[in-house]
Structure 1
C-alpha cells in the first residue's frame, strides 16, 4: 500500500522524513504546497492513501483518482475542503487528526483576545504610518470569557483565562463539565460574555450558526474571537456589527474564503485583528500532526481501515 503527502510544506516534509520508520508503508512526499485540484490524479497515481494538508478535493477529482481509498486530512475540518459524506459513499474514507494542536490554537485565541482588547494591531499600523494614536483598551481581568463549543482547544483556553483572573462560561452541544467553568444555554452565554471564542467543528448543523440573530443576542461591545472555521459565522452580519460597534473588535484566524482575497472588506475595518489561519503552526503541533498522520497510514496498511 502506498501513500502520497500531496501538498507538503518544507517544514512538514522535513518532519515526515524524520518520522518515517523502516517497515512503514511507502510514503511519497510531494514538496509542492500550492498544488491545484486538477493536479491531484497525476500526483497520486496508483496510491491508495492521500495525505492532505489544505488542498481541496472535489468529487470529480476524487473519482479520477482511481486507486484512492483513504484520505488522511491534517486537521479536524475536512468539510471545508471536501465532501466527506459523498466520498464515503464512493468508497473513500476520510481520517482526521484530533488534538495535535490544542495548546497552539488556544494560545493563538488567547493572543487574539488580548490584542483585540488592547487594539494593538490598530496602534501598530498607525505607528508604522508615522501616527501616534493612543487607544483606550479593555482590562480583561475580571471579565467573562464565553466559549462556544468545548473540546480540547476550549479546555486549554479556559485554563489560560482562569489563570489570569477571568470568569469562564461555556456552551456545548453535548453535556460537559470542567472545574472552574460554568456551562449554560447558548443564548445565556451570548448575552453575558465580554469575550466570545468559537470552538466548533464545521458541519451542516454549525455552518452559519453565528447568525445575525445570534449576533444580536451578544452583549454590546463584545470581543469575538474565531480560530475554528470562518463559515461558522455569517460574515456579512459580523461586518455590520463591527461597523455599528455592537461587536467592539474581532480577532480572526479563519475566514469564509481562504486565502483572504486582497482588498477584502475585513481588511478595511480598524476594529479587526487578522492572522492567516496559522493558529496551529508551531513546531510542537506540527510534530504531533505528522506523527498522528503516519500512525493513520500504518494502521490502514495493517488493517485496511
Structure 2
C-alpha cells in the first residue's frame, strides 16, 4: 500500500491507484494516531512538509518516502539511511513557482500602492502616498543561498532590471550573480530573499541585529524555511518603518495558531507555505514523486 498523507494532484493519485493500492488521506498530519496506524501496512509514504517522518514512524516498515517538494527538515534523513529507507525529493519541479513568488511579492511590496484598498473603500483617495512606490528595475536583489531556486529567482530579477548579489559558502559557482558575504547581502540589498535550509547554522539568520543592518526601506522575502527569521523582530522592524515590507511564506510554527505576532503589522504579506505550490508546480511535483515511488516499488 502507498500512503499519501498530504495533498497531491488528483490525476497522479489516480495514476498510482492504477498500479497499486493507495490510501489518500491528506489530513493525516492533524491525526497522528491515525497516521501511526495506517503507516504500519504501507510500502511507501508520500508527504509534503507537515508530516514528521521520524521517531516511531520510521519503524513501520515502509521502504521509501516520496517528498512532494524539496525541503527535508521534516524527515529524519539519518534515521531513514540507517533503515535503508530511500527518500525522493521532487528537486526542480517547483523551482519556477518559488522564484515567481519571490520576485512578484517583492515588486508588490516595493510599489506599495496595492496595500491601500481599505483607505479607498473608506472614501479616501490616497494618490499622493500611493505614488511614492518604487520600481523593481535598478534595485539590488540579495540572495542568501544560491542553489537552483535562488538562481532562477536571480534570472527573473535580472530580466526585470535588478542587480543580483548572492552569498553561499557551499555554492560551486555564482553564474548570474556577484558573490559577496552574508553581511554584504544584508547591508547592500534592496530586496533580501532567503534560500537556505533550516539548520543550527541558519536558525534566526535574520534576527534583530541583521534587520538593523539592512538598508532603510528594504524588503525581506522568506519562502525558504520557518525558523530562519526571527518573526517578532521582523514585526518590530516593520512597525518602526525601518523595514519597508516583508513577505513570509514559511513560519516557525505551522499553522500559526493564536500566539502569532503578526496582527496589525503594516506592509506584511503572509501566505500559508505555498511559494512552491501552483497548479502547474503541483502537477510537476506530483508526477515526479509518483513516478519515482512507482519505480522504487517496481510498478512502472
TM-score range, shorter chain: 0.7 to 0.9
Distance 1:129 1:101 in 2: 39
Aligned to 2:61: 67
- The answer as to 2:96 corresponding to 1:103 is yes
Measure how far apart 1:31 and its partner are. 4.2
Distance 2:118 2:255 in 1: 21
After TM superposition, the score normalised by the length of structure 1 is 0.85
Give matches, 1:148-163, under 5 Å.
Answer: 148-163=144-159
Distance 2:76 2:222 in 1: 23
2:285 is matched with which residue: 280, 285, 289?
289
Q: Unpaired segments of 5 or more residues in structure 2? A: none
Give the total of aligned pairs.
295
Distance 1:274 1:60 in 2: 31
Distance 1:71 1:125 in 2: 45
Measure how far apart 1:271 and its partner are. 1.8
Measure how far apart 1:37 and its partner are. 1.8
- 2:60 partner SS: coil
2:13 is matched with which residue: 13, 16, 35?
16
Give per-residue Cα distances to partners, 1:84-119, cap 9 Å, x unaligned. 334544554433221111111111111110111122
Aligned to 1:207: 203
Distance 1:119 1:292, change over 3 A: same
Q: Unpaired segments of 5 or more residues in structure 1? A: none
Distance 1:37 1:139, change over 3 A: same
- The answer as to 2:237 corresponding to 1:241 is yes
Aligned to 1:140: 136
After TM superposition, the score normalised by the length of structure 2 is 0.87
Alpha-carbon RMSD? 2.6
- 1:203 partner SS: coil
Instruction: Give runs of ≥4 in structure 1 deviating > 6 Å.
Output: none
- 2:164 partner SS: strand
Measure how far apart 1:263 and its partner are. 7.2
